[in-house]
Amino acid sequence: MYFGLSEEQQFFQVSINKFLDDTVTVDSLRSFRDGENENLFEIVYKGLNELGLCGLIIPEKYGGLGLDSLFAISVSESLGRGIAPYPFIGSFLIAPYLIDQLGSDSQKEKYLPGIATGEIRFAVALTEITGRRSETGIQSSNRQLNGKTLFVMDDIESTHYLIVDSDAGIHIVDSNESGLEKIKLSTVDITSFISELILTEVKKEGLGSVSQNEETVKRAIDLGRIAIAADTLGASQCMLNQSIDYSKDRKQFGRPIGSFQAVKHMCAQMASDLEPCHSLVWYAAYSMDYITHESHLMACQTKAHVSEVGAFVAKTATEVHGGMGFTDDLGLHFWFKRIGLNRQLLGSPDLLREEAAEAQGI
Amino acid sequence: MNLDFGNKYDEFRKEVKAFCKEYEGIHVTSNLYSYESVVDPNVKPKIEMSVKEWQKILIDKGYHARHIPNEYGGFGGELDIVKNVIITEEFSKSKIPTGIGGQGIDFLVPTLLEMGTEEQRQRYIKPALELEEIWCQGYSEPNAGSDLASLQTKGELEGDEWVINGQKIWTSTAKYAQMMFCLVRTEPDAPKHQGISYLLIPMDAPGIEVRPLVDMTLDAGFNEVFFTDVRIPADNIVGERGQGWLVANKTLVHERGSLGDPNKMIRRYDKLVNLMKSEILDGARIIDKPVYRDRLMRIQGKILALKSHGLRLLSGRLNKGQDISLATMIVKLYGTEMRYELESLAIDVMGELGTLYDNSPNLRDNGGWQYAYMYYLGLIIGGGTSQIQKNIIAERGLGMPKEPRIKGV
């Protein structure tokens, strides 16, 4: 019996962490935000793809590494820790998962090898099924799509879109098709790539069949939720670690602020809340592949709980840093904002708790 | 990740299952220990026996005190954590009571095995296991709570006897205990952590007075113990003079790690779900009201985290390379605070009826929720308060700097 990440998974995390520590510094993010460092994305994209992230869960016969959900979420944790501007969860987990599960052989041939090399990049539009707003809606008829979808994830120089409508119909759209209007949405988190799509008679290709998609779409969303939870976990752990370092270094009243119980107790509470989240995220990811009857409940509860802990850590870690925590200079807010965005993606904690209650017949 | 114990344990699990089946529905009687009620009080139990008889059967079978050596009255099995887990799991599934631990078996026995003399082991372990000798723990004092090492109960060696004067508090089981393991200041001139000895005191020694201490639940679960010129043999010491702090810390670590069992928490959660399904407010079940559902789901999220965390702790004990030191330190804080949150929800679910107490009409579940709501606040404080836990987590777990010591204290 062994419960935890394998040596291989830990080693993989170390490689990603090292790359991101060297590449994605607070300075580089600030200049990326201010439009002075436009190739940061390309550097990160190339570097992480070379480590194999784009093909991580794609079967080997399509050129991927064929790794499981636990491996995938251990990667997410590192990406959150290093606040990577990298479209992992939508482009390289949810999209290939759905294509692999529901695609015809020719669709798999057409897309999976390209995703595995990073040449094909899917943005995913799931809000019609995870959080539909009144002003949106997608209608599909005659191999065409009409309507509007909000909050498309991982949309940066996308070659394709994967759009799920409210009946769990799945549509693939080439980004060069006419009638497709993309409006970039700026969020608090500059490491995310979010857009709105307006579709007017856009040519599309169907994936799977509406009558059979629902379970698989739910599983893809669950995988995404656990991966987002892992990303929040990595970001939160990093904020706690920075707080501890800062509290040892920063002196007031002639002693390190970390020697004051007020500060110690803030850090201890963060650690106490975060430690079980590691175990929770591992278990949830493991359940996706090996204890599938538990995975939906685990996904809802894991994302809900880790989001709450993440919000607490984001606030508390900022407070430990005092005024500096509030500055752009220190850059702690990059993690704060990533945790904030993650909280809302694919279901906010309140909605997920209700979904969890319903799923177990409560 | 691999959650399988492997088929080498299949045979053992089968054996435990068969045992549990044989004793299904057992009712164990005791005036000293209360069991979670697992049998319907209206149905006469199939098997009934005293706690001592039950304890003996469990030890003979190796389902309790499993790795205590045979020569001291234990089963003498090899130390195998997986087997212990299987025993707990199967007993829990069949709802039959496990053996009694308590202060003697859980704290004194491991201490004697590690630091006691051969004579002490021969003399004390077997009667403790068989519940013939009940032990209590004499640590806290009125002026030595969180700062336990400042304790002042005095022990002076006169000839071949220790003469003990002072007072202990929060001594559960002192009322009926035959023995106490006790921390006593024997070296008044040494620094505070080095002036303490770990003494074994018969509770019937002249000069000992036990007074019940009534707590907020109105139970007298604890006691105060007063010592006036109490004389015990000089040999009744574990470890050397002045080593008592070291000896005691071995068992304190154990106490903190043992709180917050996820299986117990899950059973309690299930009971809360039942309560929420059966309570009707304005014609609707409480569980169908969104505000209460949300609180329930928050608690379930934390329980799932604790359950997963339990697997990690077990894994860390089985796989030496896995570091679980910080993971272990948070268990007491996390588990007790969460349990209190769970009991609080039950009180709110009952609303006004949640304030009923003391055999009042209309009590739900015999008032167990009201009792637990207060009792678990006690557990947040006892065994090292949440604030002390946070100091430990911060200083030992996160490596944060110690508070500067005030000179002369």
Q: What is the pLDDT along chain A (362 residues), one digit of tens a residue?
A: 999 999 999 999 999 999 999 999 999 999 999 999 989 999 999 999 999 999 999 999 999 999 999 999 999 999 999 999 999 999 999 999 999 999 999 999 999 999 999 999 999 999 999 888 888 899 998 799 999 999 999 999 999 999 999 888 999 999 999 999 999 999 999 999 999 999 999 999 999 998 889 999 999 999 999 999 999 999 999 999 999 999 999 999 999 999 999 999 999 999 999 999 999 999 999 999 999 999 999 999 999 999 999 999 999 999 999 999 999 999 999 999 999 999 999 999 999 999 999 999 99
- A277/B330 Cβ within 8 A: no
State the DSSP H helix or E strand holding residue B169, giving kind and residue range, or none if neither: strand B161-169
A267 touching B (Cβ < 8 Å)? yes
State the pLDDT at residue B34. Answer: 59
- B393/A261 Cβ within 8 A: no
- Of the ranges A296-300, B174-178, B195-199, B274-278, which one carries the lowest mean pLDDT score? B174-178
Does residue A1 lie within any of the structural domains? no
B92: tokens are 């829990």
pLDDT > 70: percent of chain B: 94
Same domain, A126 and A99: no
Q: How many other CB atoms sit within 10 Å of the CB of residue B24? A: 12
Judged by DSSP in three states, A87 sits in: coil
Question: Which of B297, B309, B334 best tests the A interface by mutation, with the highest count of A CBs <10 A?
Answer: B297
Same domain, A75 and A194: no
Same domain, A45 and A96: yes
CB B338, CB B305: distance < 8 Å: no
Question: Which of A9, A69, A245, A272 best tests the B interface by mutation, with the highest count of B CBs <10 A?
Answer: A272
Q: Return the residue of A nearest to B388 by Cα.
A: A265
State the pLDDT at residue B42. Answer: 66
Torsion of CA A266, A267, A269, A270, to 10 degrees: 120
The yes-or-no verdict on residue B402 having pLDDT over 70 is: yes
State the pLDDT at residue B37. Answer: 47
Residue with token string 């399988």: B4
The DSSP bridge partners found for residue B165 are B154
CA distance readout (Å), A264 to A111, A192, B7, B37:
51, 33, 46, 41
Same domain, A101 and A18: yes
- B298/A282 Cβ within 8 A: no
B380 touching A (Cβ < 8 Å)? no
State the pLDDT at residue B339. Answer: 94
User: What confidence tens digit (pLDDT) does each residue in B227-251 have?
Assistant: 999 999 999 999 999 999 999 987 6
Q: Which of A94, A117, A140 delimits the end of a domain?
A: A117
Is B255 annotated as catalytic? yes
Residue B43 DSSP symbol: S
Helices and strands per DSSP (H, E), number in chain B: 13, 12
Render the burial of B277-316: b for 16+ CB within 10 Å, e for the rest: eebeeeeeebbeeeebbbbbbbbbbbbbbbbbbbbbbbbb
CB A197, CB A180: distance < 8 Å: yes
> Which of B1, B314, B393 faces A272 most closely, judged by CB atoms?
B393
Q: In whole numbers, what is the pLDDT of chain A averaged over residues?
A: 96
A41 CB-near residues (< 8 Å, 6+ apart): A32, A85, A156
Domain boundaries, chain B: 7-100, 133-243, 259-397
The yes-or-no verdict on residue B408 having pLDDT over 80 is: no
CB A103, CB A122: distance < 8 Å: no
Q: How many residue contacts between A and B have a Cβ separation below 8 Å?
A: 159
Chain B positions in Cβ-Cβ contact with residue A353 (cut-off 8 Å):
293-294, 297-298, 301
Does residue A300 lie within any of the structural domains? yes
B294 touching A (Cβ < 8 Å)? yes
A residues 246-265 closer than 8 Å to B (CB): 247-248, 255-256, 258-261, 263-265
B334: tokens are 């996390």
> Distance between CA atoms of A345 and B82, rounded to whole angstroms?
40
Same domain, A150 and A105: no
> Distance between CA atoms of B180 and B201, rounded to whole angstroms?
5
Task: Work out the burial of residue B180: count CB atoms within 10 Å of its CB; fewer than 13 is exposed, 13-18 middle, 19 or more buried.
Answer: buried
Same domain, A182 and A197: yes
State the pLDDT at residue A19. Answer: 98
Taking the CA of residue A74 and the nearest CA in chain B, the distance in Å comes to 12
Does residue A293 lie within any of the structural domains? yes
Q: In whole numbers, what is the pLDDT of chain B averaged over residues?
A: 91
DSSP A275-299: HHHHHHHHHHHHHHHH-HHHHHHHH
Chain A positions in Cβ-Cβ contact with residue B315 (cut-off 8 Å):
1-4
Chain A positions in Cβ-Cβ contact with residue B401 (cut-off 8 Å):
248, 255-256, 258-259
Q: How much is the average pLDDT of B11-38?
A: 83
Which amino acid is it at A89? I
Same domain, A158 and A260: no
Report the Cα A96 to chain-centroid distance in Å: 14
B359 touching A (Cβ < 8 Å)? no
Fold type of domain B259-397: Butyryl-CoA Dehydrogenase, subunit A; domain 3 (1.20.140)
Torsion of CA B241, B242, B244, B250, to 10 degrees: -110
State the pLDDT at residue B257. Answer: 47
Same domain, A241 and A355: yes
CB A312, CB A191: distance < 8 Å: no
pLDDT > 90: percent of chain B: 77
- B308/A280 Cβ within 8 A: yes
B290 touching A (Cβ < 8 Å)? yes
> Which CATH number belongs to the domain containing residue A150 in this structure?
2.40.110.10
Does residue A2 lie within any of the structural domains? no
User: What confidence tens digit (pLDDT) does each residue in A193-242 have?
Assistant: 999 999 999 999 999 998 889 999 999 999 999 999 999 999 999 999 99
The yes-or-no verdict on residue B254 having pLDDT over 60 is: no
Straight-line distance from the first to the last Cα atom of chain B, in angstroms, rounded to the nearest whole number = 49
Is the predicted ipTM greater than 0.90, yes or no? yes
Q: What are phi and psi of B269, to 5 degrees?
A: -60, -45
Fold type of domain B133-243: Butyryl-CoA Dehydrogenase, subunit A; domain 2 (2.40.110)
B residues 303-332 closer than 8 Å to A (CB): 304-309, 311-312, 314-315, 318-319, 322, 326-327, 330
- B330/A3 Cβ within 8 A: no
Does residue A23 lie within any of the structural domains? yes
CB A339, CB A311: distance < 8 Å: yes
Does residue A14 lie within any of the structural domains? yes
Taking the CA of residue A305 and the nearest CA in chain B, the distance in Å comes to 6
Q: Return the residue of B nearest to A240 by Cα.
A: B398
- B398/A267 Cβ within 8 A: yes
Question: Which of A236, A264, A358 best tests the B interface by mutation, with the highest count of B CBs <10 A?
Answer: A264
A residues 306-325 closer than 8 Å to B (CB): 308
> Which of B387, B390, B400 faces A244 most closely, judged by CB atoms?
B400
The yes-or-no verdict on residue B88 having pLDDT over 90 is: no
Domain that holds residue A329: 212-359
Same domain, A229 and A201: no
A residues 45-104 closer than 8 Å to B (CB): 70
Q: How many domains does chain A have?
A: 3
Judged by DSSP in three states, B47 sits in: coil
Q: What are phi and psi of B210, to 5 degrees?
A: -110, 125
CB B357, CB B370: distance < 8 Å: yes
- A353/B294 Cβ within 8 A: yes
Same domain, A300 and A267: yes
> Distance between CA atoms of A116 and B193, rounded to whole angstroms?
62
- A350/B311 Cβ within 8 A: no
User: Beta-strand (E) ranges in B6-128?
Assistant: 27-29, 48-50
> Distance between CA atoms of B94 and B46, rounded to whole angstroms?
14
Confidence of residue B19 (pLDDT cuts 50, 70, 90): very high
B53: tokens are 């008889």
Q: Return the residue of B nearest to A273 by Cα.
A: B334
Does residue A95 lie within any of the structural domains? yes
A174: tokens are 């080439």
User: Beta-strand (E) ranges in A78-232?
Assistant: 122-125, 137-141, 144-152, 160-164, 170-174, 180-185, 194-203, 205-207
A residues 102-121 closer than 8 Å to B (CB): none
Chain A positions in Cβ-Cβ contact with residue B278 (cut-off 8 Å):
none
For the four alpha carbons of A338, A339, A340 and A346, in that order, the dihedral sign comes to positive
Same domain, A185 and A97: no
User: Beta-strand (E) ranges in B214-355?
Assistant: 222-233, 237-238, 280-281, 284-285
> Which CATH number belongs to the domain containing residue A322 in this structure?
1.20.140.10
Same domain, A205 and A217: no
The DSSP bridge partners found for residue B141 are B144
B145 CB-near residues (< 8 Å, 6+ apart): none
Q: Which of B15, B161, B255, B341 is catalytic?
A: B255
State the DSSP H helix or E strand holding residue B216, giving kind and residue range, or none if neither: none
Residue with token string 């698989």: A216
> Which CATH number belongs to the domain containing residue A62 in this structure?
1.10.540.10
